[in-house]
Amino acid sequence: MGELGTTPETVLASRWSRFWAWLIDSLITIIFVVPVYIYLLPEDLANANGSPLFSLLILVYSGAIYLLLHGYLLHKYGQSIGKNVFEIAIVTMENQRVGLPKLILKRWLPLAIISFLGPIGSLLIIINILFIFRKDRRCIHDLIAGTQVVSVAKKKELVFTD
């Protein structure tokens, strides 16, 4: 898919930039997901909660929202909206762009499925997040997909004139 033009020395995205990018993406997603839950509450959701079909529908809806919000940026630049704001991107270990199918199937889908496993899924999601404290800053979803998140910020030179 082509190199991203990074220097030979890869600069990993900071933990904070990844956190803030995730928060932005989450808040944007909430805007689209909460109205669906409000519409389904209280009777429909109470009756369907725990149903495999309901869980599958939520997974499909979440995936569709994710693709609508982030698909173009992920495909073109390896970035979600939040990653774009913080100038970080998902790349392979060789600093190559990652195709959208691989991002969805290996990076997003496993965690989306795990999130529906109740308390065990919640624990696994927390463990995934804690992997950010490894030296290479790769979470479990990065290890599964063979990706890393790097800074793509262009160095800015300051010119001071009198």
pLDDT digits (tens, 9 = 90+) for 92-101: 999 999 999 9
User: Which is higher by pLDDT, 1 or 92?
Assistant: 92
Share of the chain above pLDDT 90, in %: 51
Mean pLDDT score, 81-88: 96
Do residues 23 and 82 lie in contact, with contact meaning Cβ atoms separated by under 8 Å?
yes
Per-position DSSP letters for 100-124, written without gaps between them: HHHIIIIIIHHHHHHTTSHHHHHHH
Question: What confidence category does residue 5 fall into, taking pLDDT thresholds of 50, 70 and 90?
Answer: very low
What are the residue ranges spanned by the domains of the chain?
A: 15-151
> What's the confidence (pLDDT) of residue 35?
83
Structure-token match 């290479």, residue found: 136
Decide: 91 and 7 in contact? Cβ < 8 Å.
no
Question: What Å distances lie between residue 153 and 24, 31, 79, 94, 150, CA to CA?
Answer: 18, 28, 12, 18, 9
Tell if the pTM clears 0.85, that is, is over it.
no
Distance (Å, whole) CA 83 – CA 60: 23
**CA 153 from centroid of its chain's CA atoms:** 19
pLDDT in tens, 27-83: 998 898 888 777 765 555 556 556 677 777 777 888 888 889 999 999 999 999 999
